[in-house]
Amino acid sequence: MENFPNKELTRVVQTGLNGSPSAFALSVGRLVAKLKHVDLALAQEISALLPSSSALRSGDSFAPAPVDNDSRMQLVEVLYPVILDKAPVLAPKVKQMLDECLTEWASMDILLKAGLAPARMLLFCGLPGTGKTMAAHWLAQELKLPLLTLNLATVMSSYLGKTGNNLKAVFDHANTRPCVLLLDEFDAIAKRRDDGSDIGELKRLVNVLLQALDDWPANSMLVAATNHGELLDPAVWRRFDSVINFEKPGAELIAEYLQEASLNDTARLAMAKMLVGESFSAIGALVMSARKRALLEQSKFSQQFIKLVVRSVLDRGQMEKPLDAEMLLMRLNGASMREIAGHFGKTHPTISSVVKRYLGE
């Protein structure tokens, strides 16, 4: 122990006094990792005293959520337990990265004893409606932790220094027990500090954020989501364990997303190809509209959904063969093959081929 760095022992004492069990366990783990080279028996003895991951992830319920002093509105929304109707449809690379994070959390005991921590800060980048928020909910569900979502409209204040105080209150609250903290529209609080229009408030806010990220405990997960990664301060990027990019889904993912819809395989694959370029949220809105129309008009969901998709693509001028769309709409509105053929001056086999290709009839 004569040559053992005093700063390691000092760090253990400091984190122990901070009151964060996970930070203390992580600090002790780092001490043990270095102590093994000096005194293996003592290292093993200390390692055996470390709490298990289940102990670190348990805790009492949260205290009441912090509020803005002026509006008296809550700064965070708390959801627990988080239960999704179905798992989100994710691109293979995104799913792999999230699964790797969950694997690390399942092995928290092993990591802490080696002075390591599971991935605890993730940055989700991508266009709106691509599944970033849903993925955060899924992580909270899988980790069986409460989901805290920053109420950005309440946190942001026009009063000098008030936004920074509100943000600090949110992090102090989240640190009271294990959770998943979602910071949506992250660029609003982590914007580059070289913005020429800034009068100093932005720099103070980002500095508060950076300090909070540095102090984030090992037994909670922080998920920041942004549609504008290019606006983030460079110092913010370095704080995250993983940066995960969410892109608009291709035909294969859309077809998977529509798997539970009442569509035959031919129609589902055809609609998936037509919907390429749309976000999951836009597709979900079409599904919901079709369900409501089917209910109110006492018709089939598939009929209403295909009509909405075809009209949407046709209105945007993105239908490769607009005439096909017109034929499909007539068919969905109850016209016979013969009537459609006569209307467009086409043969019956031609109409039959179009209908079969899109509707599977």
- List, for residues 124-176, the tens digit of each pLDDT value: 999 999 999 999 999 999 999 999 999 988 888 756 578 889 999 999 999 88
- Asked if 125 and 242 sit in the same domain, the reply is yes
pLDDT of residue 90: 95
Q: Which amino acid is at 158?
A: S
pLDDT of residue 62: 64
Instruction: Return mean pLDDT, the chain.
Output: 85
In a domain, residue 60? The reply is no
**Residue numbers of the domain that contains 22:** 6-50
Look at residues 114, 122, 131 and name the one whose alpha carbon lies nearest to residue 97. 122
- Asked if 119 and 31 sit in the same domain, the reply is no
pLDDT of residue 156: 84
pLDDT of residue 18: 56
In a domain, residue 56? The reply is no
- Asked if 182 and 273 sit in the same domain, the reply is no
Q: Which tokens hold the place of 209? A: 């954020």
- Asked if 311 and 172 sit in the same domain, the reply is no
Last residue of a domain, one of 246, 264, 297: 246
In a domain, residue 66? The reply is no
- Asked if 256 and 242 sit in the same domain, the reply is no
In a domain, residue 59? The reply is no
pLDDT of residue 86: 86
Last residue of a domain, one of 220, 246, 272: 246
Q: How far apart are CA 26 and CA 171, in angstroms?
A: 19
In a domain, residue 195? The reply is yes
pTM value is 0.81
pLDDT digits (tens, 9 = 90+) for 262-274: 899 999 999 999 9
- Asked if 24 and 86 sit in the same domain, the reply is no
In a domain, residue 287? The reply is yes
CA angle 236, 239, 244 (to 5 degrees): 85
pLDDT of residue 117: 84
Indicate if the alpha-carbon torsion angle 70, 73, 77, 78 is positive or negative: positive
- Asked if 283 and 334 sit in the same domain, the reply is yes
- Asked if 240 and 262 sit in the same domain, the reply is no
Look at residues 150, 60, 155, 54 and name the one whose alpha carbon lies nearest to residue 109. 54
Q: How far apart are CA 20 and CA 27, in angstroms?
A: 11
pLDDT digits (tens, 9 = 90+) for 182-236: 999 999 899 887 765 555 677 888 999 999 999 898 889 999 999 999 999 999 9
- Asked if 275 and 228 sit in the same domain, the reply is no
pLDDT of residue 44: 63
Q: Which tokens hold the place of 53? A: 């991951």
pLDDT of residue 309: 96
Q: Do 329 and 310 touch, CB atoms closer than 8 A?
A: yes
Check pLDDT > 60 for residue 302: yes
Last residue of a domain, one of 196, 231, 246: 246
pLDDT digits (tens, 9 = 90+) for 332-342: 999 999 999 99
pLDDT of residue 25: 62
Number of domains in the chain: 3
- Asked if 200 and 303 sit in the same domain, the reply is no
- Asked if 288 and 178 sit in the same domain, the reply is no
In a domain, residue 306? The reply is yes
pLDDT of residue 4: 57
Check pLDDT > 90 for residue 49: no
- Asked if 97 and 138 sit in the same domain, the reply is yes
In a domain, residue 63? The reply is no
Looking at residue 111, which CATH number applies to its domain?
Answer: 3.40.50.300
